[in-house]
Structure 1
């Protein structure tokens, strides 16, 4: 059995590998159950709600830090108190393990108590 997603790290993807199948994506989604799989199985997204603009922007900065550390960057849409994060692997026009690894890292980061 492989390590949990939250204990894995992204590997560079330059293309040349197949995207995850719908079955593979659904299996990985079991470890990130708050994320939604797109209808065509090429992306995952999650909507996050906050109390206000500052909390939203703080969250986006945290996501940016995780993405930069992993070398895998999401699409981000946000407003005053809401943010949608979408992951896909552009180099393969679909999903890779990297998308689920980053989703799991974000989920774990928001569960950790602030210091």
Structure 2
């Protein structure tokens, strides 16, 4: 994969499999460009972040903006939300783990906030 210097300026590349997952070291290097609240899960399969908001309307506005971003990038997170919170997880399901796309989208999500 093409390693992007500034993740938030990157563009997701469609992934149908056939590319290797990021190693733990590669994932950690990309994570250095993200907000400190992102967590790489123990299996190196996804990155997750919980965001707190005041009230429900702000959560809903954020989720809608994130949905728009995901459609634009062609790379979709798992999202759960409710009053005052939103949980987001990125993973590249086609390869069963993390790809550069996950970190590009996470960086763009950070910019939304």
- Name the TM-score, length of structure 2 as normaliser: 0.94
Tell me what 2:105 maps to.
102
Tell me what 2:30 maps to.
28
Shift of 1:24: 0.4
Q: How does 1:5-84 map to 2 (within 5 A)?
A: 5-32=7-34, 33-84=36-87
- C-alpha RMSD of matched pairs (Å): 1.1
Q: Distance in 1 between matches of 2:4 and 2:94?
A: 24
1:35-77 Cα shifts (integer Å, max 9, x gaps): 1100111100100001111111101001101100000000001
Q: Distance in 1 between matches of 2:97 and 2:84?
A: 29
Divergent runs of 4+, >4 A = none
SS of aligned partner of 2:66: helix
Q: Distance in 2 between matches of 1:62 and 1:2?
A: 23
- Name the TM-score, length of structure 1 as normaliser: 0.92
Question: May I ask how many residue pairs the two structures share in their alignment?
Answer: 110
Q: Distance in 2 between matches of 1:97 and 1:90?
A: 13
Unaligned runs of 5+ in 2: none
